[in-house]
C-alpha cells in the first residue's frame, strides 16, 4: 500500500506517492474547512485514554499544520482523482472541497 | 506464540474472593435527579489476578459498570457508592475520592480500560508511535524502554511494529487500530485491564486469537482482567468467574464452570439456551420472549419476571437480593426467589449434538421446516451463477498507466453455484473474503466482470433480452436485500406506514389507501409487530433494534421476492432475540416461497439457519468458495482446513472443549486480495500445506464419501500432494 505524503509548494498542497496529485491552495483548504483551527471533542469515557492531554475534552487542531503533515492512503488519493481542479459554483476547486470534506471526516472520526 | 490455559494457578479458589483488588459496594449510576437508574446498587468484588467475564445484552448497564470502575460516567450521570482499589502493598484507594490528577494517574497505571469505541479516542493528528511516546512521557516512564516493550506487544498482536508506530490512526484498518489500542493499554503495565467489548469489531478468528493472547499476557504480567461482552461463549473460554447483568443489576455471579454448567438464575439459563452455538440440538435452542427493559420502564419486583417462565406473585412484588446460594462449594450468588426450581425445570441444551451426529441420527429440531431443497434439487434453478468473477480495478497513477497492468482486487473469483426455488444458502467467511460482493452479485446489485448470472434462465445483465418474458423490473423486485444495520436502512423522517407503503406503490399501484393500510397491518402482525396500530404511525427511532429488523423484513416481503439476501442481518440484534428473528425468517421463507441467501461471519448463526432450513453453508476464502455442504457435515466433518479454522474460531459452551488450543493456522492475517497467493490461496496459512499447494490451484469437487464439495487436494488420495514436501511450518499429516 503506497502512502501519500503532503508537500507544500508556494502555498499549494500536493500529495506525493507513486505519483503526484494537486489538492489545492492551503488558503482554499482552510476556507473549505471553515477556519485555521478545528475543534474535536472527546466524551468522558474517551478522556480516560492517557494520551489525551485535554482538561475539558476539547482538542484544538491547527488546520494549516495538520494538512501539511498528515499522510493519506492510496485509496483516498485514488478517490480524489475522480474530482478535478475545475472551480465549482462556490468558487473553490471541486477536488479541494472533496479533500477538505474527507479531512474533516478524519478529524471527526478521531482516528478511525 | 505460547498459550497458557485459563484458570491456571490464579488466586481465585473455588470462586471465593480472598484477595480483592477492587471492591464495589452499593454502587449506582443515576440520571434525571436520581429518578432513572442505569446501574442499580451493585455489590461485587474482583479478585487479584482473576479474569472476570461480565455478560449482558445491549442496554443492560454493563458498559456503565466499566465506566464506573474508572469514575468515568458520562455527564449528567451521577455515580454514588464506594469503589475501593487495594494495592498489593496493602494500601487502599477510594476511587471516587480521587482528584482529577490522581484519577489520571490511576487510570492506565493501575486500572486501564479498552473499549469498543476507544478507536475514536485517538488523536487523529498524531502517529500511533506518538500516542505511545506521549503516554509514556505523561506518566514519567522511560520512553525508549517503553517503546521496545510496545514493539513486543504489537508483534504479539500480529502487527508489524515499525509500520504501525509510523502510521496515523486513519491509515490503519479497524482491526489493526483495535489491536494497537490493546497494546497501548498494556504499555504502562497496569494491574487491572477493564475491557468493554474490546474485540467486537473484529472477525471471530481474530477475536479468538486475541483472547488467547490475553490469556498468556494475563499469566505473564499477573494481570487482573475484567472482560465485558454480550458474547457469552467468547468470554467463557477465558474467564475464571463470570457475572451476568440484567436490567442494570447483577443477576448471577460465580465460577465459570458453574455459570455455564450449573447456573441458577432463569435468565442465565435462558441466555445459555438462546445463544446460537455449535453444541446444542437445534430444536432446543429457544429465544427469550420479550426484550430487556429500558431504564425508565423497569418492572417492579424481580426485573426478569415479565420474561420468566417461573415467575410468581412474589417475583412481581419483591426484588430478590443477590445472595450466596446454599449447596455450592464456592461463592455462587444469584438474585432469584426460585433458583432451585430454575435448575430443575429449565434444562440446558448444549453438548448433545455431537453424539447425535456420531450416532448417525439427523441433528434436526422437531419443528424443522421442509423448505430448502439443497444441492439435490431437480428442475431449473432460480438463480444460476456460472464462473462468476467480480474484479475491482484500482485507480492508477500516471506512470503506472503506461507501464503495467492495472491492479485488481479479486473480490469474487470463478464462483459457480445454483440457488433453487425456496433454497437456503449461508455464505460464511472472514471480512474481506468477498461474501457480500458475491451476495450482491447474486441478486443483481453488482455487475460481474466475468461469467454469468441467470434468473430463471434469463441473464440478469443481458441488455438485449427482448425475447424474454421477464422484465428488468420484475428481476429487481424479485431479488431483495436486508442490511446489517436496520437503523440506517429505514428513513428516520418517515413513519413506518409510509416506509412500508413505498414498495406497495410499486407492486400494486392501483390499490386504495385503505387496502394498502390493511395489507401493511396484516404483514406487521405476521412479523410479530403487535398490535400493528401502535406501530404504524411511529418513526424508526421509536422502535427497538429487533422491531426495526422486523420492519425491514416486512418491507422486503412486500415486494413478493423470490430471493432475499440477508447481509449479516442479525448481527445487530441482541443475543436473546437472534433465534427468534432467524425462526421468523425461516417461517416466512416457507410461507412466501422465498429463497434466502444469508451472509454471516459466525458459524453458529449460519449453522442454526442452514440446519433449520435444510440448506447449505458455503465457506468463502479470498473470493472463492472452498467448501460447501450441509451444516451437519461441515461442522462435524470439515474437509477443507480453512473450515476447520472457522470451527476453531467459533467459541462453544462445552467446558471440556474450552481449554485453549493453538489455532490450526500458520498465519493470522489474511493475504492481500490484490495479490492472492499462487496455487491454493489458503496455502500461506494452511497447517497441512505442501509444495503442491503452492503450484497448483485445487478445484471445488464433489466429495466422494459425503455431501457437498471441497477444494482441497487432500480429498484426492492419488494427488501429487501426498508425495510433495510440507511447506515451512506445516505438518505432514497423513491421509
- CB-CB: which of A51, A78, A81 is closest to B135? A51
How many domains would you assign to chain A?
A: 1
Q: What is the mean pLDDT of chain A?
A: 86
Domain ranges of chain B: 20-239, 259-345, 375-637, 651-735
Q: Is residue A96 part of a domain?
A: yes
Q: Is residue A72 part of a domain?
A: yes
Q: Do B67 and A111 touch (CB under 8 A)?
A: no
Owning domain of residue A83: 3-34+66-108
Contacts 24+ apart (CB under 8 A), B335-338: B335/B249, B335/B250, B335/B251, B335/B252, B335/B265, B335/B302, B336/B251, B336/B252, B336/B264, B336/B265, B336/B266, B336/B302, B337/B302, B337/B312, B338/B266, B338/B310, B338/B312
Q: Is residue A8 part of a domain?
A: yes
Do A24 and A99 touch, CB atoms closer than 8 A?
A: yes
pTM given for the model: 0.78
Interface test with A, best of B95, B121, B143 (most A CBs within 10 A): B121
- Report the distance separating Cα B510 and Cα B286, nearest Å: 42
pLDDT bin (cut points 50, 70, 90) of residue B397 is: low
Q: Do A43 and B74 touch (CB under 8 A)?
A: yes
**Superfamily in which the B375-637 domain is placed by CATH:** P-loop containing nucleotide triphosphate hydrolases (3.40.50.300)
Q: Is residue A102 part of a domain?
A: yes
Per-residue model confidence (pLDDT) at position B11:
43
The more confident residue out of B224 and B650 is B224
The more confident residue out of B375 and A96 is A96
Residues of A in CB contact (< 8 Å) with B are 3, 17-19, 40, 42-53, 59, 61, 66, 69-74, 78-79, 81, 106-107, 109-112
**Residues of A whose CB is below 8 A from B67:** 44-45
**Residues of A whose CB is below 8 A from B170:** 73, 106, 109, 111-112
What's the CATH fold of domain B20-239?
Rossmann fold (3.40.50)
Q: Do A19 and B73 touch (CB under 8 A)?
A: no
**Residues of A whose CB is below 8 A from B173:** none
Q: Do A81 and B395 touch (CB under 8 A)?
A: yes
Q: Is residue A76 part of a domain?
A: yes
- CB-CB: which of B112, B113, B169 is closest to A111? B169
User: A with B: how many residue pairs have Cβ under 8 Å apart?
Assistant: 109
pLDDT tens-place string over residues B155-212: 888 888 999 999 998 888 777 888 888 899 889 889 999 998 887 767 788 888 788 8
pLDDT tens-place string over residues B338-392: 999 999 998 887 755 444 444 444 444 434 444 444 444 456 899 999 999 998 8
Q: Matching CATH topology for B20-239 and B375-637?
A: yes
- Which residue(s) pair with B600 in the sheet? B428
* Residue in A with minimal Cα distance to B401: A19
Q: Is residue A21 part of a domain?
A: yes
Distances (CA, A) of B718 to B70, B100, B169: 62, 71, 50
Q: How far is B690 from chain A (nearest CA, A)?
A: 29
Per-residue model confidence (pLDDT) at position B659:
66
* Residue in A with minimal Cα distance to B127: A70
Q: Does the pLDDT value for residue B312 go beyond 80?
A: yes
Q: Does the pLDDT value for residue B12 go beyond 60?
A: no
pLDDT bin (cut points 50, 70, 90) of residue B596 is: very high
Per-residue model confidence (pLDDT) at position B16:
66
Q: Is residue A104 part of a domain?
A: yes
**Residues of B whose CB is below 8 A from A40:** 124
Per-residue model confidence (pLDDT) at position B6:
40
Q: Compute the average pLDDT of residues B102-118.
A: 82
* DSSP run (H or E) holding A22: strand A20-25
Do B562 and B595 touch, CB atoms closer than 8 A?
A: yes
Q: Do A111 and B138 touch (CB under 8 A)?
A: no
Q: Does the pLDDT value for residue B85 go beyond 90?
A: yes
Amino acid at each position: 500500500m503506497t502512502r501519500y505524503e503532503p508537500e507544500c509548494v508556494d502555498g499549494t498542497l500536493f500529495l506525493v506517492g507513486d505519483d503526484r496529485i494537486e489538492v489545492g491552495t492551503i488558503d482554499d483548504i482552510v476556507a473549505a474547512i471553515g477556519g485555521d483551527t478545528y475543534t474535536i471533542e472527546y466524551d468522558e469515557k474517551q478522556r480516560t485514554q492517557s494520551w489525551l492531554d485535554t482538561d475539558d475534552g476539547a482538542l484544538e487542531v491547527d488546520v494549516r499544520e495538520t494538512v501539511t503533515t498528515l499522510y493519506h492512503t492510496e485509496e483516498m488519493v485514488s478517490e480524489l482523482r475522480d474530482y478535478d481542479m475545475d472551480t465549482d459554483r462556490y468558487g473553490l476547486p471541486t477536488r479541494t472541497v472533496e479533500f477538505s470534506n474527507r479531512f474533516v471526516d478524519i478529524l471527526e472520526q478521531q482516528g478511525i | 506464540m505460547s498459550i497458557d490455559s485459563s484458570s491456571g494457578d490464579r488466586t481465585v479458589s473455588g470462586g471465593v474472593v480472598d484477595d480483592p483488588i477492587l471492591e464495589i459496594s452499593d454502587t449506582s449510576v443515576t440520571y434525571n435527579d436520581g429518578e432513572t437508574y442505569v446501574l442499580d446498587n451493585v455489590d461485587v468484588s474482583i479478585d487479584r489476578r482473576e479474569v472476570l467475564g461480565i455478560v449482558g445484552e445491549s442496554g443492560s448497564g454493563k458498559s456503565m459498570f466499566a465506566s464506573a470502575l474508572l469514575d468515568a460516567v458520562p455527564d449528567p450521570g451521577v455515580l454514588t457508592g464506594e469503589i475501593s482499589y487495594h494495592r498489593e502493598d496493602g494500601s487502599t484507594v477510594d476511587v471516587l475520592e480521587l482528584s482529577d490528577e490522581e484519577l489520571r494517574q490511576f487510570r492506565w497505571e493501575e486500572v486501564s480500560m479498552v473499549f469498543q469505541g476507544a478507536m475514536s479516542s485517538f488523536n487523529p493528528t498524531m502517529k500511533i508511535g506518538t500516542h505511545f511516546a506521549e503516554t509514556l512521557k505523561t506518566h514519567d516512564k522511560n520512553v525508549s524502554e517503553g517503546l521496545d516493550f510496545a514493539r513486543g506487544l504489537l508483534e504479539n498482536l500480529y502487527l508489524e511494529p515499525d509500520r504501525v508506530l509510523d502510521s496515523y490512526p486513519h491509515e490503519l484498518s479497524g482491526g489493526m487500530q483495535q489491536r494497537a489500542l490493546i497494546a497501548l493499554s498494556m504499555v504502562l503495565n497496569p494491574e487491572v485491564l477493564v475491557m468493554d467489548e474490546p474485540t467486537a469489531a473484529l472477525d471471530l478468528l481474530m477475536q479468538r486469537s486475541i483472547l488467547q493472547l490475553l490469556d498468556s499476557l494475563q499469566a505473564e504480567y499477573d494481570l487482573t482482567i475484567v472482560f465485558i461482552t454480550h458474547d457469552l461463549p467468547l468470554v467463557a473460554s477465558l474467564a475464571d468467574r463470570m457475572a451476568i447483568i440484567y436490567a442494570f443489576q447483577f443477576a448471577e455471579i460465580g465460577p465459570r464452570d458453574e455459570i455455564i454448567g450449573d447456573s441458577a438464575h432463569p435468565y442465565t439459563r435462558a441466555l445459555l439456551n438462546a445463544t446460537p452455538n455449535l453444541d446444542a440440538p437445534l430444536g432446543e435452542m429457544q429465544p427469550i420472549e420479550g426484550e430487556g427493559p429500558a431504564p425508565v420502564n423497569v418492572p417492579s419486583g424481580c426485573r426478569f419476571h415479565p420474561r420468566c417462565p417461573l415467575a410468581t406473585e412474589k417475583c412481581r412484588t419483591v426484588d430478590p437480593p443477590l445472595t450466596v446460594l446454599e449447596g455450592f462449594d464456592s461463592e455462587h450468588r444469584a438474585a432469584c426467589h426460585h433458583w432451585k426450581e430454575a435448575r430443575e425445570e429449565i434444562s440446558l441444551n448444549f453438548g448433545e449434538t455431537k453424539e447425535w451426529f456420531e450416532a448417525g441420527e439427523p441433528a434436526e429440531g422437531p419443528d424443522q421446516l421442509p423448505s430448502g431443497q439443497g444441492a439435490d434439487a431437480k428442475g431449473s434453478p432460480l438463480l444460476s451463477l456460472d464462473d462468476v468473477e467480480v474484479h475491482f480495478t484500482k485507480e492508477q497513477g500516471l506512470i503506472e498507466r503506461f507501464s503495467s497492468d492495472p491492479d485488481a482486487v479479486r473480490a469474487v473469483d470463478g464462483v459457480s453455484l445454483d440457488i433453487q426455488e425456496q433454497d437456503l444458502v449461508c455464505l460464511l467467511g472472514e471480512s474481506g473474503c468477498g461474501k457480500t460482493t458475491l451476495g450482491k452479485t447474486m441478486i443483481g446489485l453488482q455487475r460481474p466482470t466475468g461469467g454469468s448470472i441467470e434468473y430463471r434462465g434469463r441473464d440478469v445483465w443481458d441488455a438485449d433480452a427482448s425475447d424474454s418474458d421477464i422484465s428488468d423490473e420484475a428481476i429487481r423486485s424479485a431479488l431483495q436485500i436486508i442490511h446489517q444495520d436496520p437503523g440506517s436502512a429505514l428513513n428516520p423522517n418517515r413513519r413506518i406506514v409510509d416506509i412500508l407503503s413505498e414498495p406497495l406503490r410499486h407492486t400494486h399501484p392501483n390499490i386504495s389507501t385503505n387496502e394498502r393500510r390493511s395489507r401493511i397491518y396484516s404483514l406487521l402482525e405476521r412479523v410479530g409487530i403487535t398490535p400493528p396500530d401502535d406501530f404504524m404511525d411511529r418513526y424508526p427511532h421509536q422502535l427497538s433494534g429487533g422491531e426495526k429488523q422486523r420492519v425491514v423484513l416486512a418491507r422486503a416481503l412486500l415486494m413478493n421476492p423470490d430471493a432475499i439476501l440477508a447481509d449479516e442481518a442479525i448481527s445487530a440484534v441482541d443475543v436473546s432475540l437472534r433465534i427468534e428473528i432467524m425462526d421468523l425468517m425461516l417461517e416466512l421463507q416457507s410461507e412466501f416461497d422465498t429463497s434466502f441467501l444469508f451472509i454471516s461471519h459466525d458459524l453458529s448463526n449460519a449453522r442454526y439457519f442452514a440446519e433449520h432450513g435444510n440448506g447449505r453453508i458455503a465457506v468463502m476464502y479470498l473470493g472463492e468458495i472452498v467448501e460447501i455442504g450441509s451444516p451437519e457435515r461441515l461442522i462435524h466433518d470439515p474437509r477443507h482446513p480453512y473450515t476447520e479454522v472457522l470451527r476453531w474460531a467459533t467459541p462453544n459452551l462445552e467446558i471440556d472443549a474450552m481449554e485453549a488450543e493453538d489455532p490450526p493456522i500458520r498465519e493470522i492475517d489474511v493475504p492481500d486480495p490484490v495479490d492472492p497467493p499462487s496455487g491454493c490461496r489458503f496455502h500461506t496459512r494452511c497447517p497441512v500445506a505442501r509444495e503442491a499447494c503452492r503450484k497448483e490451484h485445487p478445484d471445488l469437487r464433489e466429495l466422494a464419501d459425503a455431501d457437498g464439495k471441497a477444494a482441497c487436494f487432500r480429498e484426492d488420495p492419488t494427488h501429487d500432494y501426498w508425495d510433495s514436501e510440507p511447506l515451512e511450518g506445516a505438518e505432514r499429516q497423513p491421509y
